[in-house]
Amino acid sequence: MKKLLLVLTILTTYAGFSQMSLDKDFQQIESKVIEWRRHFHQNPELSNREFKTAEKIAKHLKSLGIEVQTGVAHTGVVGILEGTKSGKVLALRADIDALPVTERNDLAYKSNAKSTFIGEKVGVMHACGHDTHTAILMGVAEVLSKNKDKINGTIKFIFQPAEEGPPPGEEGGAKLMIKEGVLENPKVDAIFGLHINSGTEVGVIKYKEGGIMAAVERFVIKVKGKQTHGSQPWSGVDPIYISSKIIDGFQSIISRESKLIDEAAVITVGKITSGVRFNIIPESAEMIGTVRTLDSDMRELIIRRMKEMASTIAKAYGGEATIDFESFTNITYNDPELVQQMLPSIKKVAGDANVQLVKATTGGEDFSYYQETVPGFYFFLGGMTPGNTKAFPHHTPDFKIDDSGLLLGVKTLTEMSLDYLNN
């Protein structure tokens, strides 16, 4: 009994000490994190093209005396910080890529960047908050590098490119980082990550044990018809009309065949390309979209039915259709034991009332690939101004994050890291 009381006393003392002794570091880092975030927001780069972003990250880590590896999975940066005592190896991950979205905000640090994506000229914007993730992890690295004496073990800072998916024909993202050994040398025991959320108030952290984000597939459908004059549709086969019927059919898979009381599922067609003139029925059409699932059996059913339906519907209207799938992520699965181990650390920083259990989301994350190899914990960080009634979704031109929420991300990942390695 005396031994147990002694252990509890030590842990309680350590918890209080770690928070109080880091307060000054946290105060000093907040303005830097906001400055970094705004720089990245104003200078976004697309997946596998994050050259200047990686350069700035590497320069910062090197200035802290952290061992740095560059060029991992094309543009990824990995920092290795060894504590003064031996112990486990913990990885912390941030994604660094932006999206082909033209920003519509009036921010002083608004992005006016342009690039080319799949052959098209596009605006580039951090429309998912990866700029905040990068800045937060840079802040965590600085705080922890100043407190090596409090670290029992090693911390790997993983700045990952191409979370949104590499360009067609290229490898990238978490899959390639793992393939190139990011979880080895030294071997990682666990990994933590966070995602800013535009619809969650600043100061709030949301989590879930088990599956928290969906498996994501990208699909491409090629429809073949028969070209003819727009005034004589009976003399051809209209691939645009067939495409509309395929889309309509896919939604019946969700509404009539998927057991949505178990888990959510989504089929979305995000792009259709066909035709050149108003008065020509074209020869072909192409559709690109995504499937989101939170259950492996449901995933298998939906993909099988989509393959059957695309071909059958096209044939029924006199055409042909092929469909190909590419897996982008698996289910983001939070290890239940790790979640329970780390919840006290999160509540210690954010406060019990601000740590909320949520249902799974149909968004996807390639953080899931790390979790297939080592236990992982991924959670959501509030980025919405308190009292805001109109938060714009991620991946939209009006997406906006309140910078006042970033420091909680730094504090939480720092505290989780110290508690995991030291307790």
Rg (C-alpha) for the chain, rounded Å, is 24
Looking at 45, 97, 238, 263, which residue is catalytic?
A: 97
**What does each C-alpha distance from 97 to 54, 64, 160, 213 come to in angstroms?**
10, 23, 8, 19
97 is known as an active-site residue = yes
Structure tokens at 222: 């090629």
Handedness of CA 3, 5, 8, 9 (dihedral sign): negative
127 vs 397: CA distance, rounded Å: 7
Q: How far apart are the first and last CA of the chain?
A: 19
Q: Residue 33 and residue 312: Cα distance in Å, rounded?
A: 54
- Of 95, 408, 343, nearest to 208 by C-alpha is 343
* DSSP 8-class letter at 125: B
Sort strands 210-224 and 361-364 into parallel, antiparallel or unpaired.
parallel
Of the candidates 301, 304, 320, which has an alpha carbon nearest to the alpha carbon of residue 312?
Answer: 320
Q: Which residues pair with 217 in a beta bridge?
A: 291, 327
Beta-carbon contacts of 204 under 8 Å, excluding residues fewer than 6 positions away, are 350, 354, 355, 356, 382
- Residue tagged active-site, from 163, 295, 365, 403: 163
By three-state DSSP, how is residue 235 classified?
helix
Residue 249's φ and ψ, nearest 5 degrees, are: -65, -40
Whole-number Cα distances in Å, 269 to 91, 246, 375: 35, 10, 33
The answer to whether residue 131 is catalytic is no
Going from the C-alpha of 238 to that of each of 29, 226, 317, the distances in angstroms are 60, 7, 8
Handedness of CA 137, 143, 146, 150 (dihedral sign): negative
Burial of 64 (0-12, 13-18, 19+ CB in 10 A): middle
**Phi, psi angles (nearest 5°) of residue 103:** -70, 140
Hey, which residues are catalytic here? 97, 163
